Structure 1
């Protein structure tokens, strides 16, 4: 089990691996914030050998984990009036996150997490990022903003514009549910931008899966088969791109 920590003013959940770390992982939450589900995912990646730091990007904007859990619960409220009120409240709470200043601040916080991971013993520059929904979008953004990131795994996130995509310097594995109209509508442009930028972009679309198919606390969207496959793919992708670098000899000594 991990614990909350403070990274230069950024509250984060830190999950330690039981073995020497295979690398460091930035894990970015959904729009509900740093809720127990995200902490559980961080613990799961830690059990696979990664030092995981999951920052809280939304509490400063008014979406604390408690508020996020309440908003999420309102989506499943059987009373239609309460459900509609919850949707209105969510739009109100999310409004500040659509401002450019929020995005700049969020990326700055994420780079502080990369700083913290880069300073950890045994990480050796092996740093990756993953995220879900809101966090998937920022998994793209961090890869574009920080060349120290060696792999990015956005789950059902919307990629940034072509100019930003062109700054991505690492391989990307993007995981999507086929029944996710808003995100899927952006995929053709994402493919083209990635191709134009020369980014090593791999996508996986799960037939019949919805947005948030990985979230096992969401009974309306969780897809056990898709989630299991996405988990396995994410681990394989990390294993491939978080290998220790081979450093060439600077010179050979002749006998």
Structure 2
């Protein structure tokens, strides 16, 4: 039976929970890609749990009118050059809920619920971090802006389109990962580095040559980069261990 739980006063948020074998050394919110709370995200949460973290991966799509798990054929078509144009109508339909004005509020509120849950676990107060991929990378930045008690943030190929005052609200160190072939994010990164520096944020960006968007997702044969995935995993664990040390 899957380790799902409900959060929120109205029990409106579903989340996958993965527990370590022993006492957790930290709490971690794991934020899914644009495809939703798919098996890959749950497996990533399990990998973090195997490393000693109590991981919570929320479903940010179902409550916003989207589909909780929309991977498989659509993900394949989105990255296959021969299928991409035919998949565009379904992709736009899938993305529409996430582009609505209320979606960001919904997503950040959901992530703060997850943070509050983990921060309330005995022994974990003050030792909660967040990581996420693609859409989840973007909302990893968002939680860092919204939650001053967060201890660390690890966004994978996410956007950070915030005002300078919002960036100054980030109080935790941020380790961000990018693929050099991810053109849009590469164009944004120099400006983001400068603005993070001006805001006084401890921000490190790691860029992998030869890798593009979604390089960490081994279920995507078009984007997965084994070298970048392995190196970013090792760096993430080291960063979290250092940031969440009691």
Q: State the TM bucket, normalised to the shorter chain.
A: over 0.9
Q: Which has the larger radius of gyration?
A: 1
Aligned match of 2:45: 42
Partners of 1:76 and 1:127 lie apart in 2 by: 34
Residues 26-73 of structure 1, C-alpha deviations (whole Å, 9 max, x = no match):
000000000000000000000000000000001223432443444213
Length-normalised TM-score, structure 1:
0.90
2:199 equivalent among 197, 204, 207? 197
Describe how 1:155-194 pairs up with structure 2 within 5 A.
155-161=156-162, 162-194=164-196
Q: Count the aligned residue pairs.
A: 242
Is the Cα–Cα contact under 8 Å of residues 150 and 172 in structure 2 kept in the other structure? yes
- Following superposition, the deviation at residue 19 of structure 1 comes to 1.2
Is the Cα–Cα contact under 8 Å of residues 2 and 43 in structure 1 kept in the other structure? no
What SS does structure 2 have at the residue aligned with 1:183? Answer: helix
Length-normalised TM-score, structure 2:
0.93
- Following superposition, the deviation at residue 3 of structure 1 comes to 1.2
Partners of 2:129 and 2:2 lie apart in 1 by: 19
What SS does structure 2 have at the residue aligned with 1:231? Answer: helix
Partners of 2:179 and 2:82 lie apart in 1 by: 28
- Following superposition, the deviation at residue 78 of structure 1 comes to 7.8
- Relative to 1, partners in 2 of residues 1:73 and 1:59: Cα closer, same or farther, differing over 3 Å? farther
Instruction: Please list every run of 5 or more consecutive structure 1 residues that lacks an aligned counterpart in the other structure.
Output: 245-255
Aligned match of 1:212: 214
Describe how 1:1-255 pairs up with structure 2 within 5 A.
3-8=3-8, 9-75=12-78, 80=83, 83-161=84-162, 162-244=164-246
Partners of 2:102 and 2:165 lie apart in 1 by: 18
Point out the more displaced range, 51-60 or 117-126. 117-126
- Relative to 1, partners in 2 of residues 1:128 and 1:61: Cα closer, same or farther, differing over 3 Å? same
Residues 129-186 of structure 1, C-alpha deviations (whole Å, 9 max, x = no match):
0000100000000001001110000001011322321211100000010110011111
Partners of 1:70 and 1:24 lie apart in 2 by: 33
RMSD of aligned residue pairs (Cα, Å)? 1.6
What SS does structure 2 have at the residue aligned with 1:209? Answer: coil
